Structure 1
Amino acid sequence: MTNNESGTHGAVLQDTAPAKDGPIVELRGAGKSYGNIRALHGVSLQVHPGKVTCVLGDNGAGKSTLIKIISGLHQHTEGDFLVDGTPVRFSTPREALDKGIATVYQDLATVPLMPVWRNFFLGSEKTKGPWPVRRLDIDTMKKTADQELRNMGIVLDDLEQPIGTLSGGQRQCVAIARAVYFGARVLILDEPTAALGVKQSGVVLKYIAAARDRGLGVIFITHNPHHAYMVGDHFSVLRLGTLELSADRSEVSLEELTNHMAGGAELAALKHELAQVRGVDTEELPEEEDLTAPVATPSEGTT
């Protein structure tokens, strides 16, 4: 992206600025098949700057496949994938990074025994001095890491401490700040709160909102509708590889989102059969018509 003297900060933003108010990333009827197995089908999604798009779904719903397509690990086999309105087909994650699409996975791609500042620049270290005696520019990397973390509201007393000594929420936040510094315009977060307690989940959600406020488009992958509803601007629920729900925050309540996430539509359809089972109280189950939420088409657009 750039040489080691200057780092990659800002390099992507100069060449790939999106049209005003237009989506940075857009999927139109996208899908992915592995031989005879169709993992994803007909998914339409838009990611706008300064918005959090929450993608929810149970295990096997297609969330991982969706991440792999957008992040450049796999190519879609149907539909269209656009970045800044231009169709793309990434061959590697590096190509996605060059377009400003960064993914923070659950394992965070950190080295636990290395200090925080070293993990911040892992794989993109700054150097100084003439070749062939170039060396790490440790002072610059420490100062830069401290400043960028503070810009995200993260204050650490000691950047020399191993990143493995930080809490799970703090490590997630360091990974988010790192992605922002290296030019991310779209940030994909893969289940960032899955293994965290209530307090640490709150810390991560705070920095997701901070990334949104800095103008990034955020894709928040989660199993938890309560976490999604706290920070989300748009919600997409996947079920068995298809898009079951696509709605803005103003169009869906937390209860409706939870019902969709929990398979409420299927339970509603089976309500009359469940009523025949002894010991099952179906009075509290929703009616099928109560779960009809808007599903946006590519022509309608999503936010």
Structure 2
Amino acid sequence: MSTPVLEAKGISRHFGGVKALEEVNFRVYPGEICALIGDNGAGKSTLTKILSGADRPDSGTLSVDGKPVVFDSPGSAQQHGISTVYQDLALAPELTPVDNLFLGHETLRGGLAGKLGVLNRGSMRAKAVEQFARLGVNLRSLSVPISSLSGGQRQSVAIARAAMWAGRVIFMDEPTAALGVVQTDRVLQLIRQVRDTGIAVVLISHNMPQVLEIADRVEVLRLGRSVAQMPIANLRVDDLVSLMTSGTCAAMEGV
């Protein structure tokens, strides 16, 4: 197997007397969908914050493409091609899909206009159209406030934005939690599209049937420890539940 695009070894994080993570290992490979699962309190949120630069571990190491790295902020992680789509999406509701796609990455016009902060909206729109087309994202309009779009379309814009500025890994926290069946199917297809571009996707989810449907591999946390790193093939919902609650399952025999 290839070198992990992002790997964590021996990650520990304590909050006073609470051991949120203890010697946790994690890895994700280029062009795969890796599900990060665990019961409430297993440490998923803490690990995700560390891997995306929002928190620092007490001990352990991180590497990108096999090279040691230190993330001291989300911006630092983004510089290494790592981004996160949180449940609240972090979109500006009054701005258009194009403006949201370039939020924090605005393109300025050349010359004096650019020095005065004038945006090159033509260039931004053209690149947005290209990005949405590349990922198969179909929006009702690129010119309306994003608050007027459906939940699935807003989620699609957030994912497309992360894919545009993250060249290696995207963390997605419960990306279909508030969506209906049709919108969920569209978002899952978009996640596959992102994976097929070579970007690794880490899916944090409590929806086990969905994990089985879309993930290539699963990493399981239990009580702040790593208990499994294995392909999703041949696993069942009962296996995933058993891994989260007891740290083992029948499918682990011989693995």
- 1:22 equivalent to 2:7? Answer no
Counterpart amino acid of residue 138 in structure 1: R
| Shift in Å, 1:295 | 9.5
For 2:144 and 2:183, locate their aligned partners in 1 and report how far apart those are by CA, in whole Å. 19
TM-score normalised to structure 2 length: 0.91
Q: Is the 8 A contact 1:32 1:40 kept in 2?
A: yes
Percent of aligned positions that are identical = 40
2:188 maps to 205
- 1:107 equivalent to 2:88? Answer yes
For 2:253 and 2:25, locate their aligned partners in 1 and report how far apart those are by CA, in whole Å. 10
1:119 maps to 100
249-258 or 226-235: bigger deviation: 249-258
Counterpart amino acid of residue 203 in structure 1: R
2:23 maps to 42
Q: Match for 1:294 among 249, 252, 255?
A: 252
- 1:168 equivalent to 2:151? Answer yes
| Shift in Å, 1:236 | 1.6
Q: Is the 8 A contact 1:56 1:224 kept in 2?
A: no
| Shift in Å, 1:180 | 1.7
1:281 maps to none
Q: For structure 1, list consecutive stretches of 5 or more residues without a partner in the other structure.
A: 1-19, 267-288
For 2:203 and 2:214, locate their aligned partners in 1 and report how far apart those are by CA, in whole Å. 9
Q: Is the 8 A contact 1:247 1:293 kept in 2?
A: no
Q: Is the 8 A contact 1:237 1:246 kept in 2?
A: yes
**Residue correspondence of structure 1 range 1-303 to structure 2 within 5 A:** 21-131=2-112, 132-250=115-233, 252-261=235-244, 263=245, 265=246, 291-294=249-252
Aligned-residue RMSD, C-alpha:
2.2
Larger Rg: 1
Q: Is the 8 A contact 2:92 2:146 kept in 1?
A: yes
For 2:198 and 2:96, locate their aligned partners in 1 and report how far apart those are by CA, in whole Å. 29
3-state secondary structure, aligned to 2:132: helix
Count matched residues. Answer: 253
TM-score normalised to structure 1 length: 0.78
Counterpart amino acid of residue 208 in structure 1: I
